[in-house]
Amino acid sequence: MSFANDQARLDLRAGSTAVKPALVSAISALDSNYDLTITSVAHGGHVKNSAHYDGRAADVGAVNGTAIGPNTQTWDFVRDAIASGKIQKLGTFAAIANDASMQEWAAEHGVELFVDTGSGPHVHLQVAP
């Protein structure tokens, strides 16, 4: 795991009270299969009342060193994150979020998949309250 900024690293460091344990668990599980670059956790600019401020969401900007975008790494990562059983909502750019087969995959796993128009292509991972 790597961090795009110090604040993201601080939010997820051992013993941090800025995040919910379920988020740490979800990120750790996914990071065992992918090298994630975390861009934002409990701080930064997000929509009002965002789950980020509740310590339940993290944004991923790159997977295995490849920026989130229309590439195999991103598609595989989103598929696996949905199937992990640890994510309640997942947001990403429209080409994936609106893809019919990915929407079906998300519905099968009880995950809400939505278009996240926030700052640049990223994957928003959110756990249940």
Candidate segments 18-26, 54-62, 82-90, 104-112, binder of Zn ion by CB under 5 A: 54-62
Minimum CB separation of residue 32 from Zn ion in Å reads 21
Closest residue to Zn ion, judged by C-beta, is 124
b/e string for 17-33 if b means 16 or more Cβ within 10 A?
A: ebbbebbbebbeebeee
Closer of 28 and 119 to Zn ion (Cβ) = 119
89 interacts with Zn ion by CB under 5 A: no
Of 27, 30, 44, 59, the one binding Zn ion (CB under 5 A) is: 59
Contact residues for 16 (Cβ-Cβ < 8 A; gap 6+): 10
Question: Which residues of the chain form contacts with Zn ion (CB under 5 A)?
Answer: 57, 59, 124
